[in-house]
């Protein structure tokens, strides 16, 4: 997989990023509806973009539980229960914090599945170790499973944020909502 994506390998040339996000959100909604599951989100660098894409769909109150935008480290700790020591040791943009955000969102809600995003959208804030465009994702389900993944996106701030929304939803569909996840949330 290309480590410098600007929207995902499946985005077709004639499909805009907004259209691709809408299609991914609609597909997510369909699976959640079919299973009777509810989803929650915990977002940092995307600033609520995932929640926005999902709740733009009519009837989303039936399958979208809630969302948090936890931009500061303090809000990650206070609202999601991310241990401050975890943030101090690994940094807010890390696998460990993405997992804690997803697990925290799930434990603070009645949702069956959670998606979390933390990253550096730019234009500033990056470093050699954690450059602009680096985003960590976390997904958690009620059965106790939690998974994380790292992705680096090219582009300006808006492009990084949109690419993160799209990639996060597509991964959720492929894994947590995919055919092998049908046994239990």
Strand duo 134-141 + 113-119: pairing: antiparallel
Running DSSP on this structure, what letter comes out for residue 36?
T
What integer pLDDT is reported at residue 91 of this predicted model?
A: 96
Closest alpha carbon to 138 in 70, 53, 57, 85: 70
- The contacts of residue 23 (CB under 8 Å, 6+ apart) are 15
Task: List the chain pLDDT tens, one digit each, 185 residues.
Answer: 334 444 444 445 557 999 999 999 999 999 999 999 999 999 999 999 999 999 999 999 999 999 999 999 999 999 999 999 999 999 999 999 999 999 999 999 999 999 999 999 999 998 889 999 999 999 999 987 899 999 999 999 999 999 999 999 999 999 999 876 654 44
Residues 172 and 167: their CA atoms lie apart, in Å, by 9
Reported as a single tens digit per residue, the pLDDT across 61-78 is 999 999 999 999 999 999
**What is the Cβ-side half-sphere exposure of residue 148, based on CA atoms within 13 angstroms?**
18
Q: Say if CB 162 and CB 49 are below 8 A apart.
A: yes
Are 148 and 95 spatial neighbours (Cβ–Cβ below 8 Å)? Answer: yes
Question: 130, 111 in Cβ contact below 8 A?
Answer: no
User: CA 117 to CA 172: how far, in whole Å?
Assistant: 12
Please report the beta strands in 33-122, taking only residues with DSSP state E, as ranges in sequence order.
Answer: 39-43, 64-69, 113-119
- Measuring CA to CA, how many Å separate 117 from each of 56, 59, 100, 148? 19, 24, 11, 10
The full set of domains in the chain, from first to last, is: 16-181 (3.90.950.20)
pTM of the complete model: 0.90
């Amino acid at each position: 997989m290309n480590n410098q994506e600007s929207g995902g390998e499946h985005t077709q040339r004639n499909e805009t990023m907004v259209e691709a996000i809408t299609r991914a959100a609609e597909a997510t909604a369909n699976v959640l509806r079919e299973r009777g599951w509810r989803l929650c989100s915990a977002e940092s660098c995307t600033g609520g973009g995932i929640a926005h894409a999902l709740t733009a769909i009519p009837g989303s109150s039936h399958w979208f539980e809630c969302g948090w935008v936890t931009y500061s480290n303090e809000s990650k700790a206070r609202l999601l229960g991310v241990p401050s020591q975890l943030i101090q040791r690994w940094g807010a943009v890390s696998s460990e914090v993405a997992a804690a955000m997803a697990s925290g969102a799930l434990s603070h809600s009645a949702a069956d599945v959670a998606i979390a995003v933390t990253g550096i959208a730019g234009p500033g804030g990056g470093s050699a170790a954690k450059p602009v465009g680096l985003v960590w994702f976390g997904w958690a389900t009620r059965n106790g499973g939690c998974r994380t993944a790292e992705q680096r996106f090219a582009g300006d701030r808006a492009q990084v944020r949109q690419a993160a929304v799209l990639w996060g939803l597509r991964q959720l569909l492929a894994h947590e909502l995919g055919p092998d996840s049908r046994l239990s949330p």
